[in-house]
Amino acid sequence: MPRTIEVLSDLVANQIAAGEVVERPASAVKELVENALDARATRIDIDIDGGGKKRIRVTDDGIGMGREDALLSLDRHATSKIRAAVDLQSVGTFGFRGEALPSIAAVSRLTLKTKGESESVGTRVRVKGGTITGVEDMPRRRGTTVEVSNLFFNAPARSKFLKAPGAEARAVSDVVSVLALANASVGFGLTSGGRVLLDLPPAADLTARVSDLWGREAAATLIALSSQVDGMEVRGLIQRPDAAKSGFRRAHLFVNGRPFRSRPLLTALDRGYRTTISEKVRPWAFLYLRTPPGRVDMNVHPAKAEVRFRDASAVESFVEEAVREGLTSAASAATLDTQLAPPQLLVREPPPPRTGSKKSKEEIQTALFLGGADHVVDGGAEVTNKLGGRENAVVGDAGRGTEPRETAPPGVEPIPMVMVAERPRLWQVLNTYVIAETREGLIIIDQHSAHERILFERLSRAFEESGQTGQRLLFPLTIRLSKAEFEHVEALTGILNRVGFEVEGFGGNTIIVHAVPDPHPYFDPERCLREMIDELVAGSDLTCSAKNQHEKIAMTFACKGAIKAGQRLNESELQELFDQLFATELPYHDVHGRPTIVRLSKNEMERKFGR
């Protein structure tokens, strides 16, 4: 039988390799800029023409190369980054395979100009289609310039798949922007056809780099996060929930300085935002992971766009918790026109108490607003927490001059929102909204959304312990369910008990309810339980982890059990709702991500009235 297998020539092999590494001009720019970064450049300038199809020139002020290294750099698998296979486990540079430059040279006309610090003269190497056509000395300063012209001139099939020059130029700009984010201390310049697309001086920090790329307004919507655990570190910027929009978003991930793609980590990012934004919203994020090299494999994707973590689930959980912690300390109150820092809820100190044990009515109301205790006694009468159920869980720190845990972002000075009198001025409008007067204007609270947030955080904390106990019913409820509903309730009886619903089977598809939670005086336990059961039947994801089950149940109970729009509240209930809201970790959003508070400043009101 005649031989049919042939060994490919180096030229063909290099073109095949180039197809994996160099897909389009942006791919070539990425590889050349990464080489410049590995050479410790502090300034990198990129100039393209025809979207990079006609010409790409990358110039850096890095350490450069001598003649011998310049020639070796054009050989496949010639690299200064690793020496043995074991080095792949601790790669700390962008490049390490020694494929980029020879792959680009194989499908273009390439000129390499370089000079090392200790060299007296520079070197120029010319390559055409992977073949060196000339080597000569030349005068130049330290650093390297690589010029690529007629990309894919010898691979017309690949050239046909390139997009219009404008689209290719935008792709190059995106690549340079990502690398600039990964290296904020390095200056970058990008021109296309003589037009400046990017001019980025070295930035002091990530916020400054984002500001240079997308403007100060975009940077002002971001908050910093930083977290460490078990040798891993994550830092970066995430967007305030109120500033996040639906549709396109900028979400960039980096590990050990290298940009990469990971859908699971973006999903973990979104999980961290749960209960602060709606499902359609896509917040911006710039996350920088640092992990021991042995825990991540960089040698997975030909273009090094993907990585593999040794314990991916641990990394995903770490990112989710870091995002959640970052949001907990973020200011996110929405305003009608602009975003301001969260209110610094202060009340004038009441006058010193009179001699004796009896307190005046005004003092009692002030103390209730301050939330100094779960109850205040006036001549034997007890004023209790009506919105908090049996636990009387009013936390009054917000009324004593401390901010809620969701605080102002770094660099933003909180704007004091001092109450105008010892006695709070709270009004209920349309039996739906609560208005509080401040020296700066008004804040408007959605009573249902606010109570949702209160109940969600309370039940979430209870799940971390033993759950919340229900109030025993003198006459138990009997509820008949469908077969599917009964099966779900039976499977989740333990979780329902921890919510406060003491439930057991009563024959057929009927359940009997012996105890129910008591979140407020207007609570309808049967309606709430039925609505929760409907949610459970529809939510097939409740077969997942206990943590996700608890969160879903807490969200559902908070939504169904909170006071409703249209429910009239008395003065003490308004005060308790106000205090409890500002004692939560994330007071500015309900569990669906909708705002709980809108702020209307004095300036805005004056503008509306033409003053």
Among all chains, which residue has been given the structure tokens 């907990």? 328
Task: Give the architecture (CATH level 2) of 10-198.
Answer: 2-Layer Sandwich (3.30)
Backbone angles phi, psi at 526, to 5 degrees: -65, -45
Helix orientation angle between 525-538 and 483-491, rounded to the nearest 10 degrees: 90
Judge if 10-198 and 207-330 fold alike in CATH terms: no
Percent share of the chain, pLDDT over 70: 74
Confidence of residue 296 (pLDDT cuts 50, 70, 90): confident
- SS (HEC) of 312-348: HHHHHHHHHHHHHHHHHCCCCCEECCCCCCCCEEECC
Checking DSSP bridges between strand 55-60 and strand 143-149, what pairing results, if any? antiparallel
Judge whether residue 443 has pLDDT over 80. Answer: yes
Q: Using CA atoms, how far apart are residues 529 and 479, in angstroms rounded to an integer?
A: 9
One-letter identity of residue 55: R
Predicted local confidence at residue 66, as pLDDT: 93
| pLDDT, the chain, mean | 79
Q: At 484, list the tokens.
A: 């599917």
CB atoms closer than 10 angstroms to residue 395: 16
pLDDT at residue 13 in the model: 63
- Give residue-wise pLDDT tens across range 197-226: 999 999 999 999 999 999 999 999 999 999
Q: What confidence category does residue 276 fall into, taking pLDDT thresholds of 50, 70 and 90?
A: confident
Class level of CATH domain 344-450+567-608: alpha beta
> What would you measure as the largest C-alpha separation in the chain, in angstroms?
114
| CATH number of the 469-516+523-561 domain | 3.30.1370.100
Residue ranges of the domains in the chain? Answer: 10-198, 207-330, 344-450+567-608, 469-516+523-561
* pTM exceeds cut of 0.75: no
pLDDT over 90, % of the chain: 39
Q: Residue 325 above 70 pLDDT? A: yes
Q: Quick one: pLDDT at residue 330?
A: 64
Which of 58-67, 337-346, 441-450 is predicted least confidently?
A: 337-346
According to DSSP, the residues that pair with 478 across neighbouring strands are: 512
- Owner of token pair 């007296």: 120
Dig out the tokens for 80 from the structure: 């200064």
Q: What is the pLDDT of residue 568?
A: 92
pLDDT for 560 beyond 70: yes
Round to whole Å and give the CA distance between 433 and 446.
5
* Separation CA 279–CA 573 (nearest Å): 32
- Quick one: average pLDDT of 318-332? 81
pLDDT for 64-85, tens place per residue?
999 999 998 888 755 554 444 4
- Angstrom CA distances, 532 to 435, 452, 508, 552, 557, stand at 31, 14, 20, 10, 7
Which residues does residue 111 pair with via DSSP β-bridges, in sequence order?
A: 126, 147
Kindly report each contact of residues 217-223 with a partner whose C-beta sits within 8 Å and lies 24 or more positions away, as own/partner: 218/284, 220/339, 221/284, 221/339, 222/284, 222/286, 222/409, 223/326, 223/327, 223/329, 223/330, 223/331, 223/409, 223/410
> Is 3.30.230.10 the CATH classification of the domain at 207-330?
yes
- AA identity, residue 99: E
C-alpha pair distances (Å), 185 with each of 43, 180, 199, 281, 581: 9, 8, 13, 31, 42
